[in-house]
Amino acid sequence: MALLGESRCTNNSSLCRASRGSTYTFRVVEWDGDQRGHLQASGRSPVNSNKFRTFVSELEESWPLSSTDKLWRDSPYGWIRTRSSGTKGKIAVQIAGRILEDAGYSPHLDEGGIKVQDQFIIVRSSFMWGKNCWKFQQIRDTKFHYLLCLGFHPRDDAYIWLIPSHRIYANGALQKKAGLHRQHGGKKGTEDAWLHIEAANPLEGWTGEYGSHLVDVEGIFEKCLTASEAEHKQQ
């Protein structure tokens, strides 16, 4: 960083009105090929950026990663976890679409979900909360045929559930099933629903009928989508 010029000003200058009665030295320095103005009190030097970076690096050791962050540090899904909620949702739709495509279907990504022929699928994703469960949020009573849940695991790839809409809502009412809750107010609330699935037994209970590990996903797709697609092709 090279010093290109220096001048002095007093409190009569508009540049120095921030502190009356003081005299400042205005130094113009070259930094990364650009000239920037630095207003500094006489006798003080600019912050040494190399020393600052070293300090921050050393400070990191005083703030170790949480146990949850450590779990995701080496996961292929860890980078998604750091994105905003809206971005996570868009990424989840892309991942679900690719899984369906690899399974032999013809998905069409639509706003808020995926269309497979005449079936509309909404997609929700969750990263394992600690070591205990997945929570799929903002499940609204809208016009959808299936809810596809992507449960990301830091060490065990992902689990997928393809749940028919009528198992969640019926005539506008949230079904009385284990793991289904309103965001506030329990099952009698009016907010969006949450679906809670235990990580210890992800394929048990009523959701287990519709779930599988990523490598076995073709089985649950065949139950719901193959017949529908075959009917569409015959039309």
- pLDDT at residue number 220: 87
Give yes or no for residue 62 having a pLDDT over 60. Answer: yes
pLDDT tens digits for range 91-128: 999 999 999 999 999 999 987 799 998 899 999 999 98
Among 26-30, 55-59, 199-203, the least confident range: 26-30
- pLDDT at residue number 110: 80
Domains of the chain plus CATH, in order, are 2-60 (no CATH), 69-234 (3.40.1350)
How far is Cα 228 from Cα 235, in angstroms, rounded to an integer?
11
pTM of the model: 0.70
What is the mean pLDDT of the segment spanning 28-54? 59
Q: To the nearest whole percent, how much of the chain has pLDDT over 70?
A: 72
Mean pLDDT of all residues belonging to the chain: 78
